[in-house]
Amino acid sequence: MGEARSIMISSLGIKVVQPSSSCSDPYCPYHGHLKVRGKVIVGRVDSLKMKKAAVIEVEYSAYNSKFTRFERRSNTIHVRVPSCVAVNVGDLVAIAECRPLGKNISHIMLGRVIV
Ligand SMILES: [Zn+2]
């Protein structure tokens, strides 16, 4: 893919495009002082209409015992986007859990996932 700049998120096997530019955002996991802990989730960007935030759709499968098969379910998660991380709607991205940054935001965008 020609993307040499990438990091491997510890032992999860998820490769993420690293930001190409620096930023002065205090809530940036790369250049700021925001601590990342908890879950790392992979999802798709649903909306970028909020300022410095995005809506991510996360799909998972749940077993349906009546029809003895799995069904697709999805959740939406609101996530903060640091100013150095560039994503578009529809991108497959990785997000990480952090402390609550707003009423509905406790995740930070790490970047586009390299498949
Ligand atoms: Zn940054």
Could you state, in order of their start, the residue ranges of all structural domains in the chain? 6-112
Report in angstroms the alpha-carbon separations of 115 from 9, 23, 40, 49, 61: 14, 26, 16, 26, 20
CA of 65 to the centre of ligand 1 (A): 45
Report in angstroms the alpha-carbon separations of 44 from 37, 66, 88: 21, 29, 10
CA of 60 to the centre of ligand 1 (A): 30
- Please write the tens of the pLDDT for every residue from 77-97: 999 999 999 999 999 999 999
* CA pair distance 55, 90, nearest whole angstrom: 11
85-111 mean pLDDT: 94
Which CATH class for the 6-112 domain?
Answer: mainly beta
CA of 6 to the centre of ligand 1 (A): 14
CA of 16 to the centre of ligand 1 (A): 14
Report in angstroms the alpha-carbon separations of 20 from 30, 48, 94, 106: 11, 20, 17, 24
End-to-end CA distance of the chain: 9
Computed over every residue of the chain, the mean pLDDT equals 88
* CA pair distance 77, 114, nearest whole angstrom: 21
19-39 mean pLDDT: 89
CA of 87 to the centre of ligand 1 (A): 13
Q: SS3 for 33?
A: coil
CA of 2 to the centre of ligand 1 (A): 22
- pLDDT for residue 2 is more than 50: no
